[in-house]
């Protein structure tokens, strides 16, 4: 957690993820912080798997930490399957409530490997 903030300026807290596989295509996920629920999801996924790689759609990240800006573009890869979020519940005191947003698409990526390269540090 400390290195995430120091190396990339990303605020971090340790949370617990509980994944409960209902069946081959259905999963229930609960995220908690010190036993307080942050988010709860039920997702269904299936169909053919396909390769996923963020190099096709880079996701630049800018974080401010101690009056410096950390610029990095992380990369991720894995095998994706189309998914549908059947239930979402957000504790809006701990995380922005995205449950009312219109979902354009969902993909479950498993396994998922992510790499954060050394950032550039500078001004905005």
Length of the chain: 124
Residue 54: CB partners within 8 Å, gap ≥ 6?
A: 74, 75, 76, 77
Encode pLDDT of 19-39 as tens digits.
Answer: 999 999 999 999 999 999 999
> Low-confidence residues of the chain, pLDDT below 50?
none
φ and ψ of 12, to 5 deg: -135, 145
pTM, full prediction:
0.74
pLDDT of amino acid 109: 92
- 84-18-61 Cα angle (round to 5): 70
pLDDT of amino acid 124: 67
């Amino acid at each position: 957690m400390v290195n995430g903030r120091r190396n990339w300026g990303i605020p971090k807290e340790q949370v617990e993820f509980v994944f409960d596989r209902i069946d081959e295509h259905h999963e229930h996920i609960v995220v908690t912080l010190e036993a307080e629920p942050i988010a709860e999801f039920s997702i269904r996924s299936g169909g053919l798997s396909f390769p996923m790689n963020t190099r096709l759609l880079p996701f630049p990240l800018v974080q401010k930490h101690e009056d410096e800006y950390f610029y990095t573009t992380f990369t991720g890869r894995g095998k994706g399957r189309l998914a549908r979020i059947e239930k979402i519940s957000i504790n809006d005191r701990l995380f922005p409530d995205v449950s009312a947003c219109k979902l354009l698409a969902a993909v479950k990526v498993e396994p998922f490997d992510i790499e954060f390269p050394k950032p550039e540090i500078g001004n905005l």
